[in-house]
Amino acid sequence: MRALPLCLPTATALGGVLLLPLACGPVYAAPAAAAQWRSTDVANGDFAAPALSTTAEVGQEILPKEWSGNDVMVFSGPLARRSDKRQAVSLNDSTGPGVLRQRLWGVNAGATVRVSFSDSASTLSTCTPARIADGQRYKVSTFKPVEYGPDGKPSKDRPVDHTQEYRTEGYVKPANQTGNGSWSDTPKVFAFTAAEDNPLIAFESLEKPTGAGDEAKKCGPLITAVGAQQQTAPVDYHIEQNNLPWRAYKGHDEVPLETALETCKGVDGCRFTADPAYSYQYYSKVRVIGHAAINCTRNQKTDTRTLNYTEEGFDSITQEIRRLRNAAQVDQNLANTGGDDKGAGSPNLQEAYPQMFKQAAAGFQRLQGNNRLANTTDPLTTTRTTEKTVAQAVQPGEASWFEAQASRERVSGIFQGVGNLRIDAMLDYPSNRVPDRFYQRTGPMTQDEQRHCLTERPLRVTPDNTGVDARSDTGAAVTRTEFPAAQSAAPAPAAAPASVPASVPAPASATPAAGAPSANAPTAGAPTAVRLPPLTQTPAAAVPAAPAAPAPQRGVTS
């Protein structure tokens, strides 16, 4: 436990002033709660199936049920020599060292995993004492995800992610006799972080016998009591709707999705089971619906409209099938307009594989506790369309718009069918359990909108737009007659003082000098420009004011 400094004030009186120095001392922070470990099922982890003799020392070169691999043997309880009578598996058979594989179903990538098991050196009578004395070696490995190619087929390359070597305890074994084994009292543990969903683990013998006989090759390490625990990976809330994950398996090996669909799309194909740990409701990204109404007027306006918006369904299965179909098309169009791209297939699971959708809908009901699949008001819905009529007051200088944030249902689960067939899938549909969010928005206009509100209304160009050539409705150019000014003109008279009426004649100093041409005199060779005399205006002071209306008296009506 880590000590953290904690400073507390202590009061001290000095000259009538209360001082608060800090007294620091250690305080111990409680550790964060450790993540919970929970058991993870390991199919046939004690190798009880197939059951061999409970009285005879029998070893058969067969695979235990629910496991895959090669070159291993199943030992009966008497031959394994365990106190609990459990059967065991030898990682060698008559061909030499072998490998035993298992998937940890229900473990997601990112989970912390502990695989426990018990081991022993071989008990076979044909093993020489020297081969047993120092124990026997093997390794446990886990792998990275297998990649799928553009054709939808999984790669044959399976890179190792983590591996660890082990050695059993040795013991003294009589020659040519069945040994008692050296089973570990404390289980051994292989710990790792899952690099893939449903991680594959492999036990592989490192014992390569030097003898030429088949009996010598059988001498290899034993394992049994395989179990697992995990600290579950956190839910990944950042998976995009158009890139939902999937995996298809036959046994422990990946297969093309189309191969698995041949079984699951039938009437009695696959049963869907939802995973409650990774199924949840959420809200999608907010999106704008319809247009934005901009109020450039001086008055409040009411924005009334009918809104329609549709929420679509997504699923990882039809997404992969559409990807494969589009990838198979050869683009013959050099302009790349997509005109030669064939149909992308049905848009959702309900239309493409109706039987699988029925199974998914049933699994969704079981997830909610409706195990009897009775009628429900909360079915699994692939699409939803909403229509809403709204009226919103928009103030001058503001904009009005509407946004929607849909509630979604994300369901993660598996389709399981005959022949050890399995499809891990993810569905993303509109939710009926959580309401959509509908936002009525008003707010100030943007700078672009403000600038546009200040522009003139768009009109046709007319001849009186100075400096602009216009055209008539017939298309002919509209010309404008220019009136040239006189060659010389007298300066404009100075403005009269405010106390002098405008009708008073100008002083003599404003009269042109003798011999100077008059401003109204025509110029030789130029057209005559007629100037009208200025209009006179009566000063405001000379206009008699209208008599003021008498002030109304309270209680008196006119």
How much is the pLDDT for 266?
84
Nearest alpha-carbon partner for 103 in 206, 226, 207, 220: 226
Residue 268: partners with Cβ closer than 8 Å, 6 or more residues away: none
Q: Say how far apart CA 426 and CA 411 lie, in whole Å.
A: 6
Let me know if 59 is exposed, middle or buried by CB neighbors in 10 A (0-12, 13-18, 19+): buried
Q: What is the pLDDT of residue 463?
A: 64
Q: What 3 state SS string does 219-287 have? A: CCCEEEEEEEEEECCCCCCCCCCCCCCCEEEECCEECCHHHHHHHHCCCCCCEEEECHHHCEEEECCCE
* Rounded Cα distance, 179 and 28, in Å: 54
Give the containing element (helix H, strand E) for 376.
none
Those residues of the chain that have pLDDT short of 70 are 1-34, 211-212, 328-346, 460-558
Sequence-separated (6 or more) residues with CB below 8 Å from residue 464: none
Closest CA to 255 of 426, 41, 412, 417: 417
- Taking only the tens place, the pLDDT of each residue in 98-119 is 999 999 999 999 999 999 999 9
Taking Cα atoms as reference points, which of 22, 211, 13, 195 lies closest to residue 108? 195
Q: Residue 27: what pLDDT?
A: 37
Q: Which residues contact 330 (CB under 8 A, 6 or more apart)?
A: 340
Half-sphere exposure of 539 (CA within 13 A, CB side): 11
Positive or negative, the CA dihedral 323, 326, 328, 330 is negative
The structure's pTM equals: 0.71
Give the CA count within 13 Å in the CB-facing half-sphere of 50: 10
- The DSSP call for residue 509 is G
* Residue 358: φ, ψ to 5°: -60, -40
Helices (H) and strands (E) in the chain — how many of each? 8, 32
d(CA 89, CA 342): 53
Token pair listed for 287: 């999106």
Amino acid identity of 214? D
pLDDT at 216: 83
Q: How far does CA 502 lie from the centroid of its chain?
A: 80
Asked if 119 and 139 touch (Cβ cutoff 8 Å), the reply is no
Per-residue confidence (pLDDT) for residue 40, from 0 to 100: 96
Got the DSSP string for 389-435?
EEEEEE-TTEEEEEEEE-EEEEEEEEEEETTTEEEEEEEEEE-SSS-
For residues 249 and 260, what is the distance between their CA atoms, to the nearest angstrom? 8
Q: Inter-axis angle of helices 257-264 and 316-327, to 10 degrees? A: 130
Q: Ramachandran region of residue 338, left (φ > 0), alpha (ψ -120 to 50) or beta?
A: left
Dihedral of CA 65/66/72/76: which sign?
negative
- The tens digit of pLDDT for each residue in 54-97 reads 999 999 999 999 999 999 999 999 999 999 999 999 999 999 99
Q: Which of 386, 387, 378 is nearest to 431 (CA)?
A: 378
Short-list 119, 132, 99, 101, CA closest to 216: 132
For the record, the structure tokens of 255 come out as: 């297969």
Determine the distance from the C-alpha atom of residue 88 to the mean position of all C-alpha atoms in its chain, rounded to a whole number. 45
Output the pLDDT for position 33.
Answer: 54
CA atoms within 13 A on the CB side of 360: 30
Give Rg (Cα) of the chain: 46
